[in-house]
């Protein structure tokens, strides 16, 4: 079983076919989204052709939003999926944050007051920046020092009150979920569990149950229940001591994977607890230096992560510098140079690969 090739195929990185940003996001269930510029590229590279403006339009027209569902981490999700995902994942995320709330002196009464403040500030279709949201809290004499402000936003989002909606050049504005997103059919918890499991294994297979538990943030029992509910749509294969699940319709692509320029935090790497199928453990430190939670953009050649890259925007275009883990052959370097031309097309700017930034 060629795990990297199958993942590239199922994640729509190799031979992408979906034509709308919201289709890509719905297929994957969600994409980790704390790096807003990066996640826009993650979406676009999974389409045959898309520009930054195409992806931004999906946010600005209410088709995509950002919120904190899986593991309580910021993700992009399709707007139509937001409510059932939060219904499924928020209880565990909120319960696990109890000690943090106590440390920040955020009791239930204070958080209820915060929800009232945000409702009053946003109602009527208003969209406010993070600083404006903090200003509304300060005006209501609610302290935002330290991490209190961020945790209040996070908590209110997990309650389904607010989400990140329309965008400007660098960030998104907050909106009321019930004003920004049209009503969606109610879903039972079992239905939501099966749906999330289907989204995960169909889009990220081959993947293990432990991968799904880590990615979703669900309990082991819930994750097993979700997998069991969609097992008829999957097949399994054992590699060593690990059992991988993938779509029943899977077949290894006839065309070998080529080169890709993936952003930091992309689901090809972060969508799994065990990343050894695509990244040698010896190089893990180089993709996330110091384990600080900040993941570098990666060079992927034939399914393997073989280096990192950075970009600098200039008046004349984009310069991209590469840091391969080992020496790249001239053919591989040429393939990557061709791959980053798609990145240039995304921004409608010329791209060149340079040895360094001259710093």
Share of the chain above pLDDT 90, in %: 90
Residue tagged 């403040």 (tokens): 117
Q: What is the pLDDT of residue 356?
A: 58
Q: What is the pLDDT of residue 182?
A: 96
Q: What is the pLDDT of residue 290?
A: 75
Share of the chain above pLDDT 70, in %: 98
Residue 166 has pLDDT above 70, yes or no: yes
Q: What is the pLDDT of residue 289?
A: 84
Q: Which of 52-56, 106-110, 314-318 has the lowest mean pLDDT?
A: 314-318
The burial class, CB within 10 Å (0-12 / 13-18 / 19+), for 84 is: buried
pTM for this prediction: 0.95
Confidence of residue 256 (pLDDT cuts 50, 70, 90): low
Q: What is the pLDDT of residue 359?
A: 37
Neighbours of 147 (CB within 10 A): 12
Which contiguous run of DSSP H or E holds residue 322?
Answer: strand 317-324
Q: What is the pLDDT of residue 225?
A: 98
Give the distance from CA 150 to its chain's centroid: 19
Q: Which domains does the chain possess?
A: 3-180 (no CATH), 189-247 (1.10.10.10), 259-354 (no CATH)
Helix boundaries (H) for 254-321: 267-270, 284-287
Mean pLDDT of 278-294: 88
Mean pLDDT of 191-220: 98
Residue 357 has pLDDT above 70, yes or no: no
Taking only the tens place, the pLDDT of each residue in 2-18 is: 999 999 999 999 989 99
Q: What is the C-alpha separation between 344 and 277, in angstroms, rounded?
A: 29
State the number of CA atoms in the 13 A half-sphere of 307 facing the CB: 20
Confidence of residue 358 (pLDDT cuts 50, 70, 90): very low
DSSP 8-state assignment for residue 11: T
Mean pLDDT of 162-186: 92
Mean pLDDT of 212-224: 98
Q: Which of 294, 299, 305, 291 is nearest to 320 (CA)?
A: 299
């Amino acid at each position: 079983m060629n795990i990297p090739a199958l993942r590239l195929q199922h994640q729509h990185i190799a031979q992408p076919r979906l034509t709308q940003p919201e289709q890509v996001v719905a297929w994957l269930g969600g994409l980790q989204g704390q790096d807003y510029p990066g996640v826009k590229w993650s979406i676009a590279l999974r389409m045959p052709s898309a520009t930054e403006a195409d992806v931004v339009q999906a946010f600005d027209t209410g088709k995509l939003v950002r919120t904190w569902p899986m593991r309580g981490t910021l993700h992009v999700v399709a707007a139509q999926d937001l409510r059932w995902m939060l219904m499924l994942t928020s209880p565990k995320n909120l319960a696990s944050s109890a000690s943090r709330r106590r440390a920040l002196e955020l009791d239930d009464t204070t958080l209820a007051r915060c929800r009232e403040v945000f409702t009053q500030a946003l109602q009527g279709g208003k969209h406010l920046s993070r600083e404006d949201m903090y200003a509304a809290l300060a005006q209501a004499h609610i302290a935002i020092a330290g991490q209190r402000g961020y945790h209040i936003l996070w908590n209110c989002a997990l309650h389904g009150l607010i989400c990140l909606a329309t965008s400007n050049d660098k960030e998104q504005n907050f909106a009321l979920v019930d004003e920004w997103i049209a009503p969606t059919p109610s879903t039972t918890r079992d239905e939501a569990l099966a749906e999330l499991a289907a989204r995960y294994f169909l889009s990220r297979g081959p993947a293990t149950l432990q991968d799904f538990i880590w990615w979703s943030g669900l309990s082991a029992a819930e994750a097993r229940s979700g997998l069991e509910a969609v097992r008829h749509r999957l097949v399994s294969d054992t590699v060593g001591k690990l059992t991988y699940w993938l779509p029943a319709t899977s077949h290894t692509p006839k065309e070998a994977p080529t080169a890709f320029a993936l952003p930091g935090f992309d689901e090809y790497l972060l969508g799994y607890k065990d990343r050894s199928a695509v990244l040698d453990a010896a190089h893990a430190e180089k993709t996330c230096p110091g384990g600080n939670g900040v993941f570098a953009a990666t060079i992927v050649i034939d399914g393997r992560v073989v280096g990192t890259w950075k970009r600098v925007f200039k008046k004349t275009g984009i310069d991209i510098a590469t840091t391969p883990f080992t020496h790249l052959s001239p053919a591989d370097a040429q393939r990557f140079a061709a791959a980053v031309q798609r990145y240039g097309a995304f921004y409608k700017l010329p791209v060149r690969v340079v040895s360094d930034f001259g710093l």
